[in-house]
Structure 1
Amino acid sequence: MGSRKRINNEIKEIMKDNNLKKNHWCIELDGENTSHFFGKIHGPPDTPYQNGVFRIDISIPERYPIEPPKCKFLTLVWHPNVSSQTGVICLDLLTKDNWSAGTTIEALLRSLRSFLSSPESTNPQDGSVARQYRTNRQLYDRTARYWTYYHAMNDETRKTVDKNQFQESTD
C-alpha cells in the first residue's frame, strides 16, 4: 500500500471517532493536507500534566510508514524528553531505528500521552529539566504543573485548579 493511501486510510478511521474528551487524543487536519496535521492529547491523570491539553505538530514523510512522522509539541511542556524551547521530542519510537511500519498515528498519539507519564532523565532532550527531575522531584512536579496550568489549560479549566499547588511546601 502506498504511503498516501496508508495515511489517508488512517485519517479516515480516526475521523470516525475523533473525540478528545472520549479518547483523550484527537487530530486536527490542516485543510486537505494529509501530510501535515495536528494532534491533541490530554495530560494523563495523576501527573503534573493532568487537565492539560497538549497540541502536537505532526508531519508525515514521503516514506511513511517506513519512516516515522516528525513530531514536536506546540504547547510548551516541562518534561526532560521535550525541549522547553522548541518542543522537539526525544522518544525512541520516533527514530528510524526504532520505528515500526505497523505503528499507526492513533498508536503514536497514545504513546505520546503515555510518554508524558514516564520521563527518562538519563537520555534527555532538555538537560536542565532532567537535572531538576533527578535532583529535586518536588520542584520538578511543581514546575511542570505550573507550565501545564499556564500553557496547556483554557480559562474554564484553570478555574477548577487550586493555585496553591504552585507554592513551595513548608513541610
Structure 2
Amino acid sequence: MDTNRLAKELREIQSDTKSGVTVEVLGDNLAHMQGTLKGPEESPYEGGKFYVDIQLTNSYPFEAPKMRFITKVWHPNVSSANGAICLDILKDQWSPALSIKTAMLSLQALLSTPEPNDPQDAVVARQYLDSYEEFVKHAKEWTAKYASENRKDEKEEKLKEMGFGEAAVRNALSRAAGDEQQALELLLTGL
C-alpha cells in the first residue's frame, strides 16, 4: 500500500468541504476507514448521513477498496441485509487513477441514480421498477429511521458514554449486526 499516496488522498478529502464526503481512519490502521456521505438533494436520501466501511488491501491503489454501507439504505444497488454495494468501479472498472474520494463520490451519485437492472438487492429493484412511489416512500422512511442526522441510537449512545469513539462504535455495531454485547466485546478486544 502506498502510504504517501493515501496520506495525500486523505488531505484532499479533508480540504474539500463542499462535496458532503468525509473519510476518517479508524485507529492507527490506515487500511481501515469510515466514510461519511450526505444524501443527495432531490433524492429519497436527502437529509440523510450515510456511513460506509472502507477497507484497503496491500495492493491499493491497484486493487479497489472494499466498501459497504454501515447505515441501512433502501436502494436497488445496496444490500438491505448487509450493506454490500453493486458498483462497477468497486469491481472490474476500478483503475489506480481513481481514489477513495472518487469512490465515495460515485456512491453518492449512485444514491441519485440507481441501476435497478443491475441490482444488489432484487427485492428493492423489483419495487423500484414495479412501484416507484412505494420505493420512494420506503427509501425516505429508511433514511429518516437510519440516516437522520438527528437520530439517536440508544446502543450507540451507551457505548460512546463508555468512552469509545463514534466511528469505532458504529463500526463495531455494524460488524456485530446490531448486537450491543458483541459490539462491546469487539471494542474491548480491539478486533
User: Normalization by structure 1: what TM-score?
Assistant: 0.84
Gaps of 5+ in 1: 157-171
Contact kept? 2:78, 2:86, Cα under 8 Å: yes
Contact kept? 2:13, 2:21, Cα under 8 Å: no
Deviates more, 1:6-15 or 1:60-69: 6-15
Say which SS state the counterpart of residue 33 (structure 1) adopts: coil
The aligned residue for residue 78 of structure 2 is 82
Residue by residue over 1:102-145, the C-alpha shift from the partner in whole angstroms, topping out at 9 and shown as x without a partner, is: 00111111111011011111111101000000000000000000
* Equivalent position to 1:61, from 57, 64, 67: 57
Within-5 A mapping of 1:88-103: 88-95=84-91, 97-103=92-98
Structure 1 runs of 4+ with >3 Å offset: none
The aligned residue for residue 4 of structure 2 is 5
Residue 83 of structure 2 aligns with an amino acid whose one-letter code is G
Could you tell me the percent identity over the aligned residues? 40
Contact kept? 1:56, 1:73, Cα under 8 Å: yes
Q: CA deviation at 1:6?
A: 1.8
Aligned length: 151
Contact kept? 1:72, 1:89, Cα under 8 Å: yes
Contact kept? 1:76, 1:151, Cα under 8 Å: yes
Q: CA deviation at 1:8?
A: 2.3
Gaps of 5+ in 2: 152-191
User: Normalization by structure 2: what TM-score?
Assistant: 0.75
Residue 91 of structure 1 aligns with an amino acid whose one-letter code is L
The aligned residue for residue 112 of structure 2 is 117
The aligned residue for residue 148 of structure 2 is 153
The aligned residue for residue 178 of structure 2 is none
Deviates more, 1:107-116 or 1:132-141: 107-116
